[in-house]
Homo-oligomer: A and B are copies of this chain.
């Protein structure tokens, strides 16, 4: 038996006027994919019983399973049950099981039932209600002609809970899945997406391994997927080829962040860090402290925006600032020395630059950044010229600083 054909139908005006981006389709598709099912098409229609009914009719001719989200609310837009009733030729009737679910949810969450809410128990006569662990509106399951139809709420958290507990197990019980898709992700830093794509050894990759890309600025993410029986072996061999071609730019796998890795390395090596940030305005500190446990390695960070702060806390010579400016190799060097001395840490990083959009000069255009690293055994300063918006320059600078730390800690610096 081959896996069944599947369509996702999302309903809601807000999906068709740009007010909300539909994430339910992706959530459902990803979960189905992981279990060896494949979505063939997805459709969005407005909150109109006619449109929903027409879409159900068309999809029912093409696929074996339809998963619908949205339009089960207690407000004006609870149109899906009506559309489903018309589509299936069944009258709407109060479903006692659904009513019990709604009452139980009300009791559990300490709410009073409004009459509107009970309207959510009006389902097509032969529908099987699906419990909603997160909200009031039950979903339902309908079989009509050759088609299984599941109707879920539109609120992502409610939809996801119901899909996981009621829909997926039913599908797995009833249908034969294909091979589950195995996935791996690699995070790269230092190359653009087209550049990464051009360096992928497509010709050598084993057949059955799919490659996709995503951008998590400033990182490029390579996604490998394989649904063959020997997926592990194929993915291992693809991974080897990726590392051979792009290894020096791969900074993490799956959901490893660069800040997370740096934190992990510092903690493991029992090393302390201090930061002096100018143009990044605290972003490096913020990325590192977003991870739990940052207090074991981060002694302090200085956001020294004004010259007075650089002079006071980092002991920068006012003459130096006057002669070379705050955005200079000399200043970056003094900043990293100053913060390391003040905080007495193993490592220190300093950045000073022009994030823009204003403040650039011919000599030092917007995007000019000086990065400095100091430890017991090294002291290095480098000038960069980053491009993009103010935010992109800040993000790129912070990640370059993290990359310096990562490489130093990995001993490859």
Contact = CB atoms under 8 A, between A and B. Distances in A.
Interface of A: 13-23, 25-31, 33, 38-46, 51, 54-55, 58, 62, 181, 210, 212, 214, 223, 225, 275, 277, 280-286, 288-290, 292-295, 298-306, 308-309, 312-313, 342-344, 355-358, 390-391, 394
20 contacts: A15-B25, A16-B25, A18-B29, A19-B212, A20-B212, A20-B214, A21-B22, A22-B25, A42-B43, A43-B44, A275-B303, A281-B290, A283-B286, A285-B285, A285-B286, A294-B305, A295-B306, A300-B313, A302-B303, A312-B342
Given A21-B26, A40-B51, A43-B44, 11 more contacts: A15-B26, A18-B31, A19-B214, A22-B25, A42-B43, A42-B44, A277-B282, A281-B298, A286-B286, A299-B309, A308-B343
Q: From A21, A285, A304, A313, name the one whose CB has the most chain B CB atoms within 10 angstroms.
A: A285
Nearest to A297: B305
Contact of A42 (B15, B19, B342): B15
A309 B343 contact: yes
B303 A289 contact: yes
A390 B397 CA distance: 24
**Number of copies of this chain in the oligomer?**
2
A412 B198 CA distance: 57
Please list the 8 inter-chain residue pairs (A to B) with the smallest Cβ-Cβ separation, ordered nearest first.
Answer: A281-B289, A18-B30, A282-B282, A282-B285, A301-B303, A300-B309, A18-B29, A282-B286
